[in-house]
Amino acid sequence: MSYQFSQESEKRFSKLFEMFPDKRSIILPALYMLQKEKGFVDREGMQYIANKIGDPISLAHVYGVATFYTLYNKKPVGKYHIQICSNTSCYLRGNDVLEKHVCSKLGIKPGQTTPDKKFTVDEVECLGACGYAPMMQINDSFYENLTLENIDKLLQDLK
């Protein structure tokens, strides 16, 4: 059986047609719903979205959007998805040291997931909190003005 949205997401998806008369505008929120349900966006889910939106939207349209934006996970991630900002402000404030520290604590490299599937670490471009660098995002929460000490506490609280 192929992928289908949950009943709740199906209701929300139906409302997108009222909110966005241009069908192309439905792709972003639909991908977000897919990621919320599956934890990542895959070809099966993207095809489902293209079929649900209908003509003129194709799998190629949906795939193009999903691969353009880094906020969509293209593969499964751990329960806690740690995204460490690598843009200029964070870099100048030591994000590289923090990233090495996080990876060392978890025993993985950037782009990897722990064997127990609890943590994934990714280096990402700007997360939009340059005034509070260095920072990282864990799932949907931002953590700013990071130090090695508060990273250790964060990781301990998540374990």
pLDDT in tens, 126-157: 888 999 999 999 999 999 999 999 999 999 99
Report domain extents, the chain. Answer: 7-68, 80-158
* CATH code for the part of the protein at 80-158: 3.40.30.10
What is 7-68's CATH number?
1.10.10
pLDDT (tens digit per residue) in 4-28: 999 999 999 999 999 999 999 999 9
- Looking only at the bridges linking them, the beta strands covering 80-85 and 119-124 are parallel
Residues at the annotated binding site for [2Fe-2S] cluster?
Answer: 85, 90, 126, 130
Please give the annotated binding residues, written as ranges: 85, 90, 126, 130
Q: Around Cβ 104, how many Cβ atoms within 10 Å?
A: 10
- For the record, the structure tokens of 144 come out as 């700013």
Query: How far apart are the C-alpha atoms of 86 and 130, rounded to whole Å?
Result: 10
Mind listing the pLDDT tens digit for each residue in 77-101?
Answer: 999 999 999 999 999 999 999 999 9
In the chain, the amino acid numbered 148 is L
Of the chain, the end-to-end C-alpha distance in Å amounts to 35
Q: CA–CA separation, 8 vs 5, rounded Å?
A: 8
Q: In this structure, how many other beta carbons lie within 10 angstroms of the beta carbon of residue 2?
A: 8
